[in-house]
Structure 1
Amino acid sequence: MKFLFTAGGSHSTVFSMAPLATAARTAGHDVLLTVDEPVLEAAEAIGVPAVPVPHPGEAAARLDALLDLSRDWTPDVVVGGLSYVPGLLAAHLGVPYVRQYWDIVPLRPEPALPELLERVGLDAPPEHALFIDVCPPALRPSPTPGARPMRWVPRNRQLRLEPWMYTRPKGRPRVLITAGTRAAKLRNTGDSTRRLVDGLRLTGAEVLVAAPPGAAEQFGTELGDVRVGWLPLDVVAPTCDLMVHHGGAATAMTGAAAGTPQLITPENNYAKEIARAFTGFGGARTVVPDDRPQEDPGEVIAESCREILADPAYAERAAALRQEIAALPTPYEMVAELEGLAAG
């Protein structure tokens, strides 16, 4: 059978789709993943066959590209997520559409939807044949009727591992900060991220800073025993006592699957929805430094980090969420559902 997965717009959408796509390949099926060019390398890094298509924001061009692809490689099932486009493709081909969605916020409006509907001869967006929800039930404010839950399985690119990545330090907490492109600012002692790192070091915590590959060589020993650079979050997260990040979907769910408390500093409305759900459950805290404009952001975040590390309730709630996720059906179990849809 042939399963076409569609993702794009960010690396996290690729990592979210990868476990189910990989499970389908392992079961012996043909799988293609379509993504926009900027995130194609993410699919390549995790070993999923991928084809470039226009960005999800270019809905009409993306639909045209998928229609062209389907003439040469016709799927038995289409699996999509955030966009209406995969469903329109499936309706045009007369095959089942599966919506896999981990998210907490509703499906985003598609400005070009009327034009797209006219293009495929539909009056309204088609209904999905199956809705796979990777959002843990405890975080879903209003469950979708008929949704099939599936376990979140962390997935990210891999490189050679070092022993410290999969072992906990003895006698001290470990805090992971996802800095991304902000890592370059760590050289500036006046930068808030640098002050956060310094503040955590003073508490005796081991600090890991997830940053682009090569960052470790740039800093050398400048930050003492702080480790800066590429980190396999799926391996490192279970060894941490706290994760500090900006509310990215894949990062938050990786921390949840590991049972790691989180401090989330959301920078947009999308991340705020994610932060609100995790904080409401009790395994995380949301910190918006702009709410305390007279104080240094790094010091505000460091203060909250210390409070989370000192309060065992955060770890207890994070562990409860991990247990809920672990009890959900695996992607391999969900492949049987896809096979049933394809068989009619």
Structure 2
Amino acid sequence: MLRMRILFVVGGSSGVIFSLIPLAQAARNAGHQVFLAGPYDVMHTITAAGLPAVSVSELSMMDTYVDRKGDFQQIPKDLHERYLFNGRCFGRFAAGCFDGLLELADRWRPDLVVGGALAFAAPLVAAHAGVPYVKHAVDMGEPRMIDLSAAAELGPELERLGLYDMPRADLWVDTTPPSLRVADAPPAQLMRYVPYTTSRVLEPWMYTKGDRPRLLVSAGSRVTPDRDFDTLSGLVAKVSQLDVELLIGAPEDVAEKLRPLPDNVRAGWLPLDVLAPTCDLVMHHAGGNTVLGNMAHGVPQVLIPYLPYVVDYSTRLAEYGAAKIVDPEEDTAENIAQALREVLETPSYRERARELAAEMAALPTPAQVVGALEEVAAR
């Protein structure tokens, strides 16, 4: 295959970029020229992975809470309305990247566009450039209503391109293991999920553990001192008195706000891909990368799905037997401790988690999936 120019279109937070990086790196290692395009505030996440980054917008995800009329939109409490709200926000984010992406495509002329599942500008720029579009999973699936709502928001951009509907993907790359795919999942090029996170210098305690069970707690990469901090601090308060070695994954400014902490607790931006194999259990908010990363290492999980869209795949993982769900409305210290004890003391959770890890390891690697990208471009 001749050297291709592959444009990866990413979303507005680290969480939806991490999942695309292994395939982007593999394509670059195969000799293709790769650009990752996204908003200005995620440029460091991309360049930290050693990949070329192009800023196409100054928009942040929080800016999308303001509609096109300039009115701030409150997050609805009704679940159906919440999905519509989320889709509209992702649609406005795509619209904010639209002009920058079209300008980049006109100047650089990609041969193929790969977009994260929530990067709704990706199929539009592919249609503009007249090249194939590959859709790439960022977790184990979002409600279809989000896609439909985003498409509705992007009506003006579709009209500019002379389109009446969102362009369909020429290839769907899915990192969900077969046992957890939904019954009506579309045909896909399955790919092994490769855990990725921004690295730091390793210390011995990160890859070794003591005698006590090691518990990792995380609320995801989007937590800031002003956003979702109460979720993380509340989780920490509810488990910090347990007889475990407690690790808290959080950005450094968030970790600083959590301190002082008991002697058995470490907090900070942790290399989760290094820590996961040493953990007996992980408790978190059910974010896509955290779920898949620990699945890949065979670690059982306790999930508290605070965001509505993660409930579906959290339920699939729990029904498989590799995780236990704590209802967000009942996340008392007592209920959380009971869930942690059950998972730690019941061998079947780890056995099922290891079965999933083996299934994921048997899937094609990102390097092998590059061949599928080449075939799509050749067609």
TM-score by length of 1: 0.89
Is residue 176 of structure 1 aligned with residue 213 of structure 2? no
Alignment of 1:85-104 (within 5 A): 85-101=121-137, 102-104=139-141
Q: 1:105 to 1:150 in 2, by over 3 A?
A: same
Find the counterpart in structure 2 of residue 33 from structure 1: 36
Find the counterpart in structure 1 of residue 372 from structure 2: 337
Query: CA contact under 8 A between 2:217 and 2:249: conserved in structure 1?
Result: yes
Find the counterpart in structure 1 of residue 165 from structure 2: 124
Query: CA contact under 8 A between 1:289 and 1:301: conserved in structure 2?
Result: no
Distance in 2, Cα, partners of 1:122 & 1:247: 36
Equivalent position amino acid for 2:238 in 1: L
Q: 1:183 to 1:177 in 2, by over 3 A?
A: farther
Q: Report SS of the residue matched to 1:53.
A: strand
Find the counterpart in structure 2 of residue 105 from structure 1: 142
**Count of residues in correspondence between the two structures:** 331
Query: CA contact under 8 A between 1:199 and 1:299: conserved in structure 2?
Result: no
Equivalent position amino acid for 1:298 in 2: A
How big is the shift at 1:130? Answer: 1.0
How big is the shift at 1:163? Answer: 1.3
Unpaired runs of 5+ residues, structure 2, are 60-89
Q: Report SS of the residue matched to 1:172.
A: coil
Is residue 199 of structure 1 aligned with residue 241 of structure 2? yes
Query: CA contact under 8 A between 2:38 and 2:97: conserved in structure 1?
Result: no
Equivalent position amino acid for 1:103 in 2: M
Task: Please identify, of 36-45 and 297-306, the stretch whose mean Cα deviation from structure 2 is larger.
Answer: 36-45
Is residue 241 of structure 1 aligned with residue 280 of structure 2? yes
Q: Report SS of the residue matched to 1:58.
A: helix
Q: Percent identity?
A: 43
Alignment of 1:148-163 (within 5 A): 148-163=189-204
Q: 1:182 to 1:39 in 2, by over 3 A?
A: closer
Distance in 2, Cα, partners of 1:22 & 1:182: 28
Task: Please identify, of 98-107 and 318-327, the stretch whose mean Cα deviation from structure 2 is larger.
Answer: 98-107
Distance in 2, Cα, partners of 1:247 & 1:179: 8
Q: 1:183 to 1:237 in 2, by over 3 A?
A: farther
How big is the shift at 1:289? Answer: 4.3
Q: 1:84 to 1:210 in 2, by over 3 A?
A: closer
Is residue 232 of structure 1 aligned with residue 268 of structure 2? no
TM-score by length of 2: 0.81
Unpaired runs of 5+ residues, structure 1, are none
Equivalent position amino acid for 2:207 in 1: Y
Find the counterpart in structure 2 of residue 140 from structure 1: 181
- 1:9-36: CA deviations, max 9, x gaps? 3211110110000000111111111122
Query: CA contact under 8 A between 1:104 and 1:139: conserved in structure 2?
Result: no
Distance in 2, Cα, partners of 1:220 & 1:44: 30
How big is the shift at 1:126? Answer: 2.0
Find the counterpart in structure 1 of residue 348 from structure 2: 313
Find the counterpart in structure 2 of residue 13 from structure 1: 16
1:303 pairs, out of 334, 338, 341, with 338
Q: Report SS of the residue matched to 1:28.
A: coil
Q: 1:216 to 1:84 in 2, by over 3 A?
A: closer
Q: 1:163 to 1:214 in 2, by over 3 A?
A: farther
Find the counterpart in structure 2 of residue 210 from structure 1: 249
